[in-house]
């Protein structure tokens, strides 16, 4: 076979290969859909300690809620302030409307309750409930800093009040130290005031009601956030107790 036909055959084979590659282009090569994620306007709904014995204040008669919208579709109702973890993700607390109707009631009765914290990804539109260790909705007031959440937690036995620092996506809490014994029937309200963060050195101070404040130094570390899903979380870093000032 002469050189000319061989070149023509090679060109034809290359063109067929290119056409095959174009036909087999994976779907993920297409432009990523841009999601619009945001919180809507605030409104007030009836709320009482009888409706939410775990999370209501003693003098609270209304709850401010906002819709969480993804592409103009209502995904969840939320309450309280949101916290930006990164330029892509934020956390916010869910508000739930619970059916409080008894079997013998002639009319339906619904109540609002504070729910768990949510992680929201602005890029994918994904909404993920957070499982914070020893979190109690009636006791735990979460104070956020970076990807850390600090709060007073209650053990599953219900007998211990703990200082807890959770880092998003870490398997175990960065900090878990007992503050006091806990008695649900005779506990103060609130059991703890909000925890306070300090940046340098990284320090958290807890304020259990009726007891001295206690501070802990946190050794900065990293964990894999939800937005980087697919990788395992790293082992959480250690924490050291320091005298409160």
Q: How far is CA 196 from CA 34, 202, 214, in A?
A: 36, 11, 11
Reported as a single tens digit per residue, the pLDDT across 78-92 is: 999 999 999 999 999
Report the pLDDT value the prediction gives residue 170, as an integer from 0 to 100.
86
Overall average pLDDT of the 59-79 stretch: 92
Q: Name the pairing type of β-strands 175-181 and 89-99.
A: unpaired
Residue 106, both tokens: 């002639």
Say which residues have a Cβ less than 8 Å from residue 221's Cβ, sequence separation at least 6: 167, 174, 234, 236, 237
Residue 131, both tokens: 């499982």
Q: How far is CA 160 from CA 67, 114, 185, 239, in A?
A: 35, 23, 13, 19
Listed by start position, the domains of the chain span 29-130, 132-245
Percent of the chain with pLDDT over 90: 52
Q: How confident is the model at residue 106 (pLDDT cuts 50, 70, 90)?
A: very high
pLDDT surpassing 70 at residue 7? no
Nearest to 170 by CA among 86, 235, 240, 226: 235
Entry pTM: 0.75
pLDDT surpassing 90 at residue 130? yes
Task: Report the mean per-residue pLDDT for the chain.
Answer: 81
Q: Which residues pair with 190 in a beta bridge?
A: none
Q: How far is CA 70 from CA 40, 62, 79, in A?
A: 10, 26, 17
Q: How far is CA 225 from CA 117, 146, 207, in A?
A: 15, 11, 28
Q: How confident is the model at residue 233 (pLDDT cuts 50, 70, 90)?
A: very low
């Amino acid at each position: 076979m002469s050189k000319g036909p061989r070149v023509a055959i090679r060109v034809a084979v290359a063109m067929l290969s290119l056409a095959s590659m174009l036909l087999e282009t994976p779907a993920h090569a297409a432009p990523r859909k841009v999601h619009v994620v945001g919180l809507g306007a605030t409104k007030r709904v009836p709320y009482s300690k009888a409706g939410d014995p775990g999370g209501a204040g003693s003098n609270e008669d209304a709850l401010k809620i906002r819709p969480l919208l993804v592409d103009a579709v209502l995904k969840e109702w939320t309450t309280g302030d949101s916290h930006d973890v990164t330029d892509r993700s934020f956390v916010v607390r869910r508000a739930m409307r619970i059916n409080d109707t008894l079997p013998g009631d002639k009319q339906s009765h619904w109540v609002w309750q504070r729910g768990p914290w949510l992680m929201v990804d602005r890029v994918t539109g994904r909404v993920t409930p957070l499982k914070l260790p020893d979190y109690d909705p009636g006791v735990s007031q979460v104070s956020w800093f970076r990807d850390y959440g600090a709060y007073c937690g209650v053990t599953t036995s219900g007998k211990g009040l703990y200082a807890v620092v959770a880092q998003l996506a870490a398997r175990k809490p960065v900090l878990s130290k007992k503050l006091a014994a806990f008695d649900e029937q005779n506990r103060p309200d609130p059991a703890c005031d909000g925890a306070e963060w300090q940046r340098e050195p990284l320090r958290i101070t807890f304020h259990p009601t009726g007891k001295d404040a206690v501070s802990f130094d946190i050794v900065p570390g990293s964990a894999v956030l939800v937005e980087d899903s697919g990788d395992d979380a790293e082992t959480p870093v250690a924490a050291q107790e320091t005298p409160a000032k």
